[in-house]
């Protein structure tokens, strides 16, 4: 049900939040979060996930959004005074779909996996939807969005029509802790016909049920393609390999590809994905090992090294440690990559800025004393758009280095 409204979207009760003087500035610049410290008064007693209206302290309307007790108190859905009803969400979903359509992602024989909804980037804070060749995997990060999962399933059916076979809700581990509501991992509709997808012509088995995140790191699609252009006849080391995304692209023309991940299921999946594309091919080997330990003594065995670790920092209070982690990792790679070698190095921590990440890599390079050039500065692809008013949405950062 749409909270605070019946199914037709008629508001039943309106909850009003008044901001402290001066705290309206970021909202007027369309930033989609209201922090709890900015609130002067709440009229009514909103439950988590209710729709609330936000006003400045002179009683001018500012925005409407989902309420949540905690540091981010309101996730804004609209800066217009409009009803947040079924049609509202239908409109936002349609825009998200049409945008991907304009990117050529929705009817593409080479790629049938893409992100359909990217939270704030699509004006839908708290909601992620990834499309895997017929199956939409939804991940809700707010109770406001979680409560609407059945409406969203309906909307997806409406927009995707025959393209949609199943909708899977994977919110068990993503709902805010405060809520006391346990999310679910379950099919909300249909059952999948395929568990493989095609990305740039390569086949990948996706395990959205027990895999990490929604099952696949779609956000590296364009970076994987770029990697491929650097791997011809090269010896490639893919650290933190997960499904073997980078490894599969590299296998196209590398002389050797080694995948390292500390997780057994990840290694199995990487092996399977290489097999799906190249059959039994002894150019590929996988290692279930800690990436840091693996690099202790690789000397100049590799010409291309990929470092795509999990988010080292999930919160600002561990930022310094995370930056040290990136530095340590990059020192090992820069020190040992063969002369003329290439390093693809990434950070997907939202709290690590582009500048901070670059400083860590710079510090790592300086530590080794080798000559290093930056060839590319990478980010996330356009199906993971960054809302210009929400710079926090730019979470994926990468550098491609040439090491003399």
Q: Is there binding between residue 349 and ligand SAH (CB under 6 A)?
A: no
Residues 173-192 contacting ligand SAH, CB under 6 A: none
79 torsion bin: left (phi>0), alpha (psi -120 to 50), beta (else) = alpha
Nearest Cα residue to 137 out of 75, 196, 188: 188
For residue 249, the minimal CB distance to ligand SAH (Å) is: 9
In sequence order, what are the residues at sequence separation of 6 or more whose Cβ sits closer than 8 angstroms to the Cβ of residue 50?
3, 4, 15, 66, 67, 144
Of 24, 169, 261, 303, which lies in the binding site for ligand SAH, with binding defined by CB under 6 A? Answer: 261
For residue 199, the minimal CB distance to ligand SAH (Å) is: 11
What does 96-130 look like in DSSP terms, one character per residue? Answer: HHHHHHHTT-SS-SS--EEEEEEGGGGT-TTEEEE
Q: How far is CA 129 from CA 51, 115, 210, 263, 310, in A?
A: 21, 6, 17, 25, 20
User: Half-sphere exposure of residue 229, counting CA atoms within 13 Å on the CB side?
Assistant: 7
Total of residues contacting ligand SAH (CB under 6 A): 19
For residue 107, the minimal CB distance to ligand SAH (Å) is: 24
Of 79, 146, 240, 249, which lies in the binding site for ligand SAH, with binding defined by CB under 6 A? Answer: 240
What does 173-211 look like in DSSP terms, one character per residue? Answer: TTS-GGG-----EEEEEE--S-SEEEETTEEEE--TTTS
CA distance 47 to 51: 9
Residues 113-142 contacting ligand SAH, CB under 6 A: none
Query: What are 71's two structure tokens?
Result: 């540091």
For residue 246, the minimal CB distance to ligand SAH (Å) is: 5
For residue 245, the minimal CB distance to ligand SAH (Å) is: 3
Return the sign of the alpha-carbon dihedral for residues 97, 94, 66, 7. Answer: negative
Please give the angle made by the CA atoms of 360, 365 and 370, to the nearest 5 degrees. Answer: 175
Q: Is there binding between residue 246 and ligand SAH (CB under 6 A)?
A: yes
Q: Is there binding between residue 220 and ligand SAH (CB under 6 A)?
A: yes
Of 263, 338, 367, 368, which lies in the binding site for ligand SAH, with binding defined by CB under 6 A? Answer: 263
Give the nearer residue to ligand SAH in terms of CB position, either 31 or 258.
258
For residue 242, the minimal CB distance to ligand SAH (Å) is: 3
Of 214, 243, 349, 356, which lies in the binding site for ligand SAH, with binding defined by CB under 6 A? Answer: 243
Residues 289-328 contacting ligand SAH, CB under 6 A: 290-292, 308-310
Of 262, 338, 367, 368, which lies in the binding site for ligand SAH, with binding defined by CB under 6 A? Answer: 262
For residue 21, the minimal CB distance to ligand SAH (Å) is: 44
Q: Is there binding between residue 199 and ligand SAH (CB under 6 A)?
A: no
- Please give the residue ranges that form the binding site for ligand SAH (CB under 6 A): 217, 220, 240-243, 245-246, 260-263, 266, 290-292, 308-310
């Amino acid at each position: 049900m749409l909270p605070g409204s019946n199914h037709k979207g008629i508001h039943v009760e309106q909850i009003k939040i008044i901001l402290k003087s001066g705290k309206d500035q970021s909202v007027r610049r369309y930033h989609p979060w209201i922090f709890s410290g900015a609130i002067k008064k709440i009229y009514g007693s909103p439950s988590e996930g209710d729709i609330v209206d936000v006003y400045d302290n002179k009683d001018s309307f500012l925005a409407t959004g989902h309420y949540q007790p905690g540091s981010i108190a309101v996730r804004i859905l609209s800066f217009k005074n409009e009803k947040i009803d079924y049609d509202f969400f239908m409109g936002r979903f349609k825009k998200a779909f049409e945008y991907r359509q304009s990117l050529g992602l929705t009817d593409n024989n080479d790629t049938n996996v893409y992100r359909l909804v990217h939270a704030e980037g699509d004006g839908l804070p708290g909601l992620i939807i990834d499309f895997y060749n017929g199956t939409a995997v939804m991940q809700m990060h707010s109770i406001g969005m979680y409560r609407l999962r059945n409406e969203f399933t309906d909307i997806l059916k409406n927009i995707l029509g025959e393209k949609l076979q199943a909708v899977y809700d994977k919110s068990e581990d993503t709902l805010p802790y405060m809520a006391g509501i346990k999310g679910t991992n379950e099919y909300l509709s249909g059952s999948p016909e395929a568990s493989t997808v095609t990305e740039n012509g390569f086949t990948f088995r996706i395990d959205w049920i027990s895999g990490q995140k929604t099952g696949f790191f779609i956000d590296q699609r364009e970076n994987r393609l770029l990697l491929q252009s650097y791997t011809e006849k090269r010896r490639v080391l893919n650290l933190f390999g997960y499904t073997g995304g980078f490894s599969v692209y590299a296998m196209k023309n590398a002389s050797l590809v080694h995948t390292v991940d500390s997780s057994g299921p990840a290694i199995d999946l990487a092996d399977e994905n290489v097999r799906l594309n190249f059959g039994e091919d002894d150019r590929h080997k996988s290692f279930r090992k800690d990436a840091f330990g693996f690099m202790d003594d690789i000397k100049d065995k590799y010409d291309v090294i990929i470092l795509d670790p999990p988010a080292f920092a999930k919160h600002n209070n561990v930022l310094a440690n995370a930056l040290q982690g990136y530095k340590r990792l990059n020192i090992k790679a820069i020190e040992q990559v063969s002369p003329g070698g290439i390093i693809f190095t990434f950070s997907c921590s939202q709290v690590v800025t582009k500048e901070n990440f670059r400083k860590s890599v710079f510090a790592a390079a300086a530590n080794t004393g080798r000559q290093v050039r930056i060839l590319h500065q990478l980010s996330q692809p356009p199906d993971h758009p960054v809302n210009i008013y929400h710079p926090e949405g730019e979470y994926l950062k990468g550098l491609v280095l040439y090491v003399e």
